[in-house]
Each structure stands twice: as C-alpha cells, then as structure tokens.
C-alpha cells in the first residue's frame, strides 16, 4: 500500500460523535490505497473501542490506545505510528468535507516552497441556539475559524492561526521538532490550549510557512453545554494560563522577570476601573462580554506567570 497521508482522530469518550467523524474520512474522494485512518483512543471509558471495530472491515482503519491522559500525548502517539508521508488531524467531534485529504495533498504538492503546516476553515454545527452575546471573535475559542475565501500564507500566528481540529504536517517536520509539546496539553477538566499554535510558531522559526486554504474545510460540533457565559469565562481564563505557559517555554524568563511581568499586568488591571467593572458585573452585550473575556485572559496570564512550574 502506498500510503501518502495518515488521517488521525484522537478521541476521549466521544463514541456518539466518533462514528460521523470516521465515516467522513471513509467517504473521502482520495483513493483508498493512498491513505490510512488512525484512531487514537485516549483512555476512553465509553463504547469507543466497539464503535471503531465496526469500521475495520470497511476501510484501512487502525486502532491505537494511548494510556496517558491528554490530547497532546494522543496526537504524538498518532503520528509516531503513522505510515503516511503527511499527517492530518481531525477532531473526534468534527466532520471532514469529501475533498479534505485531496486539498491537503494538493497544497503540499503545489505551494512553493512547500509549507510546514496546512489547514483550513472550521464551520460550526450548532447544537443549541447561538446566544446573542456570543461575538464572532469568541468563536475562535470553539476552534471555529474562517480567515477568508483566499488561500494564503499565515504571516502572523498571533492574528491568524490554524486549529488542531483541522491541521496537517509533513511527517519529517514533526520528527524534527519532536511533535506536540506535552506542557500545552488539555487533560481532564483543564482547558489548557496553544499546543498547535506553539507548534506552528516552531515551524515558522525553522523557516517554513503555515498555509491556510478555505477548501480544507471541516464542520465542528458546538455542544449545547458550551453555549453559556460560564464556559466562555473559564475557557478564556485558561487561555491566559496557556499563553503564560507558551511564553515560559519560548522565553525562559527568570523568577524575577516573571514577577515583574505579572506585577505590570496586575497594575494595568487595577488602574482601569472600566476593566474591573467589566470583570465584576454581568453583561449580555456582545462587545462588553468579549472585552470581559480579554480581561480574563489577562487574569489567567498573571496566574500562569506566578504559578506555572519551569520546564
């Protein structure tokens, strides 16, 4: 078998969504002999294994079990066991469009110089009514992105980035970098993120590009349980912690430098009555709630600078 690309789904207790995700990969227009499907079971306790078994006779589906809880560990297990020249990741609650793998391979083969990472649009499948207070910007916290209808190189990862629900790499890039950093890993109930963003920054530092193509498209389920302000407040507070972890990994600041950074950010918060008011008072205004989430990022960043252990 000439496996060009390995499509990997990392999953934890999402058996009811997993069937649709796998089926979307089986239904790809890419010739079957050119790709494999790998499902990495990350400590699931539901019917995940039984769900996967039903596909064994239908396609080149492989099952792997990763005993270390954490999506980053599962992603690394996936690519390290893959046969493909390219590695593509799809979330277990997402559905790939029929030309997903074709478009990924097309970008890797035709864009010059060859990108170190490619991905595309992620559109929502709403499982509840979208709240009026939920701005377009906050959709990024749900791994929903739509940077434009024009394929382009991402020149500033802090402004435009690719999401882990829909991302692909040449295998040798992952080998050279060492894969996803396990310090930026969502485990259990924490909402640590930035694993893919940190990897994208490492790829750019090595002289490669990250490339966005809107036709590399997935649909991503948005759970009803996330359509409340409490979830978004927690999500963006953890974004601040994640940003602190990434900063510590990138810059290795001393304890004194971290204290100074945290003090500077705290001073800015305390000297702004508007920010303090936003943090304390409820709001249903989308702009005000978005700003509240920005302020929560700052709070999380302060906590992360003070409490996150050195690498």
Q: Provide the token pair at 126.
A: 């709403």
Share of the chain above pLDDT 70, in %: 99
Q: Return the domain boundaries, the chain.
A: 5-226, 229-307
Mean pLDDT of 149-176: 97
Do 47 and 17 contact (CB within 8 A), yes or no?
Answer: no
**What's the pLDDT score for residue 310?**
73
**What is the fold, at CATH topology level, of the domain defined by 5-226?**
Spore Coat Polysaccharide Biosynthesis Protein SpsA; Chain A (3.90.550)
Mean pLDDT of 66-73: 93
Mean pLDDT of 165-186: 94
Q: What single-letter DSSP state applies at residue 29?
A: S
- Give per-residue pLDDT as tens, 212-259: 999 999 999 999 999 999 999 999 999 999 999 999 999 999 999 999
Distances, alpha carbon 92 to alpha carbons 10, 24, 80, 116, 287, in Å: 6, 11, 19, 24, 31
Residue-averaged pLDDT of the chain: 95
Give the chain's end-to-end CA distance (angstroms, integer): 41
pLDDT for residue 196 is more than 80: yes
**What's the pLDDT score for residue 71?**
92
Mean pLDDT of 259-275: 94
pLDDT for residue 1 is more than 80: no
**What's the pLDDT score for residue 197?**
95
Mean pLDDT of 77-103: 98
**Closest C-alpha to 138, from 268, 212, 231, 243:** 231
Do 160 and 154 contact (CB within 8 A), yes or no?
Answer: yes
Mean pLDDT of 84-109: 98
Share of the chain above pLDDT 90, in %: 92
- Give per-residue pLDDT as tens, 22-39: 999 999 999 999 999 999
Q: Model's pTM, two decimal places? A: 0.95
**What's the pLDDT score for residue 4?**
97
User: How sure is the predictor about 311, in pLDDT bands with cuts at 50, 70 and 90?
Assistant: low
CA 210/CA 199 separation, integer angstroms: 10
Cis omega before residue 169 (within 30°)?
Answer: no
**What's the pLDDT score for residue 188?**
66
pLDDT for residue 199 is more than 70: yes
User: How sure is the predictor about 190, in pLDDT bands with cuts at 50, 70 and 90?
Assistant: confident
Do 121 and 214 contact (CB within 8 A), yes or no?
Answer: yes
pLDDT for residue 14 is more than 90: yes
- Give per-residue pLDDT as tens, 97-120: 999 999 999 999 999 999 999 999
**What's the pLDDT score for residue 121?**
98
């Amino acid at each position: 078998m000439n496996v060009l690309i390995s499509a990997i789904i990392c999953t934890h207790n999402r058996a009811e969504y997993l069937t649709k995700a796998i089926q979307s990969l089986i239904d790809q227009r890419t010739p079957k002999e050119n790709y494999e499907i790998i499902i990495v079971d990350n400590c699931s306790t539901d019917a995940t294994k039984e769900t996967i078994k039903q596909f064994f006779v239908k396609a080149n589906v492989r099952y792997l079990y990763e005993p270390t809880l954490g999506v980053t560990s599962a992603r690394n297990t996936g690519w390290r066991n893959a046969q493909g020249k390219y590695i593509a990741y799809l979330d277990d609650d997402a559905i790939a469009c029929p030309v997903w793998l074709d478009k990924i391979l097309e970008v890797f083969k035709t864009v010059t110089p060859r990108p170190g990472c490619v991905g595309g649009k992620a559109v929502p499948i709403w499982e509840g009514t979208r709240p009026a207070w939920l701005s377009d910007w906050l959709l990024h916290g749900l791994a929903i992105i739509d940077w434009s209808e024009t394929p382009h190189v991402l020149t500033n990862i802090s402004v435009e980035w690719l999401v882990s629900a829909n991302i692909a790499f040449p295998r040798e890039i992952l080998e050279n970098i060492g894969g996803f950093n396990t310090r930026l890993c969502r485990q259990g109930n924490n909402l640590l993120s930035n694993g893919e963003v940190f990897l994208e920054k490492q790829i750019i530092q090595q002289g490669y590009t990250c490339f966005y193509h809107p036709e590399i498209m997935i649909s991503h389920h948005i759970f009803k349980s996330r359509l409340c302000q409490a979830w978004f407040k927690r999500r963006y507070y953890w974004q601040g912690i994640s940003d602190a972890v990434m900063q510590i990994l990138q810059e290795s600041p001393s304890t004194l430098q971290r204290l100074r950074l945290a003090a500077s950010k705290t001073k800015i918060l305390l000297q702004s009555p508007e920010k303090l008011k936003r943090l304390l008072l409820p709001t249903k205004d989308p702009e005000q709630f978005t700003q509240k989430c920005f302020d929560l990022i700052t709070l999380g960043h302060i906590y992360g600078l003070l409490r996150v252990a050195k690498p």
